[in-house]
């Protein structure tokens, strides 16, 4: 029993540390850079966080099942490009968005097939996919961004239903759906089971292969959704949208959010909070004029610290 008590305290320790850090940052900002709290800046932060949050949601589903999807940003970029090209060719915003979602899910399905059916290692498969999608994106666009989308598309995203940018609402909706799936449905249960102990799950009649496959399709779909949001915000689709620092941010967001890289632990809500913190951190560095490279060091340090804490909790 004393072991469980200690684990409980450790878990709260984590939340306490993060809360403390957040409060410290906010206080620091209030003192040194109160411009952070201006409505324009906050909206900016939220919109930026929307893209990252959607990607982090997809990554969470995959990580909880014990895998990882390094191809998410590249998937997002390629889907954005393909969808934009469709949108321009048919002058249909709806079709373009559909293509982005479908492309995202298709790439996810390819990853899922390789992991679940061919039993390949997720790290390797998604790394290869990241490279392939990235290369394809550059080749397709000739390194030129696609910016001839219909104006209607951008106008939609400039609107502010309920006073919040559409992108933020989309991210919130995605959060609600993913949290519901993971927390309330049979599939969600099976994902946690597979991430905790795939051998035991299999003997307990969980269709492990199918579950793994679906987690990658979901993450791919999230990449497609993020493609819509990011294209609207930037006003164009380009291969650079999926550059290397994005995957770092996604993983940082998940790790801060309490998603375990060993699988079986992590909540979608945590990942979204993690995404928010990553963006806030980036915003803080910006406002303070801190070098981008130092911010990279800080993010790397955070990942190491939190994973070490996670490992200690797991007793691994």
Partner 1 sequence: MQGIAKSFGAVRAVSDGRLVLAGGHVTALLGANGAGKSTLMNILGGVLMPDAGTILLNGQAMAFRAPGDAARAGIAFVQQELAVFPTLTVAENVFIGAFPTRFGQIDRPAMRAETARLLARLGARFSPDALAETLSTGDRQMIEIARAMRGAPRIMIFDEPTSSLSAREKGRLHEVVASLRDEGVAIVYITHFISEIFGVCDDVAIMRNGATVVQAPLAGLDQRAIITAMLGDIAAIERIVGPAPDTPPVLRVRGLRLGHRVENADFDLRKGEILGIWGLLGAGRTELVRAILGLDGRPGGTIELDSGAGLAPATSEALRAATAFVTEDRRGEGLLLPFSVADNIALPNLAALSGALGHVRRQALGDLAKAMIARLSIKVSGPGQPVGTLSGGNQQKVVFAKWLATKPLILILDEPTRGLDLSAKGDILRFTVDLAEAGVSVLMISSEPEELMRVSHRYLVLRERRTAGVLPGTAGKDDLIAALSGDPLIGGAAA
Residues that bind partner 1 (CB under 8 A): 1, 3-4, 184-187, 189-190, 192-193, 196-197, 199-201, 203-206, 264-265
Shortest distance (Å) from residue 16 CB to partner 1 = 21
- DSSP string covering 146-164: B----HHHHHHHH--GGGS
Q: Toward partner 1, which CB reaches closer, 62 or 206?
A: 206
Which residue lies nearer to partner 1 by CB, 83 or 264?
A: 264
Torsion, Cα 201 14 23 278, to 10 degrees, reads -50
- In whole angstroms, the minimum distance from the beta carbon of 186 to partner 1 comes to 4
158 and 164 in contact (C-beta within 8 Å)? no
Closest CA to 174 of 137, 223, 222, 114: 222
The residues with which 146 forms a beta bridge, in sequence order, are 237
In terms of residues, how long is the chain?
A: 316
Q: What angle do CA 197, 201, 202 make, to 5 degrees?
A: 120
Q: Which of 209, 78, 237 is nearest to 153 (CA)?
A: 237
Min separation Cβ 305 and partner 1, Å? 23
Residue 225 has which token pair? 């959704």
* Nearest-approach distance from CB 181 to partner 1, in angstroms: 8
Considering beta carbons, is residue 173 or 184 the nearer one to partner 1? Answer: 184
Residue number, 67 or 242, with CB nearest to partner 1: 67
Whose Cβ is closer to partner 1: residue 4's or residue 39's? 4
The CA distance from 236 to 226, in Å, is: 13
Q: Closer to partner 1 by CB, 92 or 202: give it.
A: 202
In whole angstroms, the minimum distance from the beta carbon of 197 to partner 1 comes to: 5
Instruction: State the minimum distance, in angstroms, from the CB of residue 58 to partner 1.
Output: 19
Residue among 40 and 205 whose Cβ is closer to partner 1: 205
Minimum gap (Å) between residue 214 Cβ and partner 1: 12
Measured distance CA(54)–CA(231) in Å, rounded: 14
Please say whether the beta carbons of 116 and 209 come within 8 A: yes
* DSSP label at residue 239: G
Contact 255, 63 (CB under 8 A): no
* Pair 253, 275: CB distance under 8 Å: yes
């Amino acid at each position: 029993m004393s072991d469980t008590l200690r684990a409980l305290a450790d878990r709260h320790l984590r939340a306490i540390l993060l809360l403390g850090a957040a409060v410290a940052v906010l206080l620091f900002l209030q003192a040194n850079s109160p411009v952070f709290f201006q409505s324009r800046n906050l909206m900016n932060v939220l919109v930026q966080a929307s893209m990252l949050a959607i990607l982090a949601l997809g990554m969470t589903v995959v990580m909880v099942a014990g895998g990882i999807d390094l191809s998410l940003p590249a998937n997002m970029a390629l889907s954005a490009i393909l969808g934009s090209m469709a949108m321009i060719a048919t002058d249909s915003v709806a079709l373009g968005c559909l293509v982005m979602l479908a492309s995202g899910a298709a790439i996810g399905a390819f990853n899922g097939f390789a992991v679940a059916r061919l039993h390949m290692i997720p790290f390797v498969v998604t790394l290869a996919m990241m490279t392939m999608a990235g290369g394809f994106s550059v080749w397709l666009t000739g390194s030129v961004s696609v910016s001839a989308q219909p104006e209607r598309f951008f106008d939609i995203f400039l609107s502010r239903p309920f006073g919040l940018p559409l992108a933020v609402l989309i991210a919130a909706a995605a959060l609600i759906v993913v949290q519901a799936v993971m927390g309330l449905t049979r599939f969600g249960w099976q994902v946690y089971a597979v991430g905790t102990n795939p051998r035991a799950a299999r003997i307990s009649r969980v269709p492990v292969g199918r579950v793994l496959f679906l987690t990658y399709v979901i993450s791919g779909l999230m990449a497609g959704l993020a493609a819509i949001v990011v294209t609207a915000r930037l006003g164009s689709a380009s291969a650079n949208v999926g550059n290397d620092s994005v995957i770092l941010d996604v993983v940082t967001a998940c790790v801060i959010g309490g998603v375990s890289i060993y699988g079986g632990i992590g909540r979608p809500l945590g990942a979204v909070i993690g995404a928010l913190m990553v963006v806030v951190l980036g915003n803080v560095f910006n406002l303070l004029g801190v070098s981008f490279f130092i911010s990279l060091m800080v993010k790397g340090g955070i990942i190491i610290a939190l994973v070490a804490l996670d490992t200690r909790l797991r007793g691994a």
